[in-house]
Structure 1
């Protein structure tokens, strides 16, 4: 079921798309901008699995800036999108509260980033390739370390960045 603007027999302008189930319930699917029958511009999308996205679309795909809340609090992403995937700078928060802030390419962590391990109160700064950290430093987050869910047994010492004299 569609309610909104039309142009040349296609959804064009602002409109709301809903689905009617066999039992007669109506579920909103998309509310936002349309161009030539496709989601295009700013809009909100409700997914069947319970996830919700708001942001920009281009030719029916998430593209530009947007944010998504995954079903039942299983994660959150905010940042750049391209061709329906995380692409560019963004922030991803996991269900347990841990957070990655950095670069993404084709939906995966790729490039420089910072991962906050709030469950162990540590911060990891480094470089990721294909969703895997390949080089990083990890240090304790000083505040409330004793209240972390999984604290490390020993404190991680701070790195002293002073130049070493040549002998």
Structure 2
């Protein structure tokens, strides 16, 4: 049914996994330029994660508007959105990463994208139309743009880190 959308959600997982904290050796540097670059990389990573969380919140909020508030799926989505908002609110990257892992573990067995009529109150066709509407296309496009922007910014920061390292070595 929705198998063609599974790669998108796997890409979300992969992107979040790629946005891990930096090498601890870089974090120990006394060089102010290096410290600023590390700060920028952390900030970009947090921005990416928050953008991904917001995209999922937007998507599932849209899905939820088509569901009866009494259904299990509506309640599952509310819990999911609450957890994503908690992850956005977290400022510390290690905790944000742990929250994401916890959210993924909690909901990986949840059929948020699968229709069980008793849980959604909708037929398969109705639920599919909701899940594959224009909102999904918009969020998918924004997601790909966010990930591309993130990797471009991190590549630029990495180049500056290398430049700075070479400068430090040449000054020694």
Alignment TM-score, normalising by the size of structure 1: 0.20
The structure richer in strand per residue is: 1
The structure richer in helix per residue is: 2
Larger Rg: 1
Alignment TM-score, normalising by the size of structure 2: 0.20
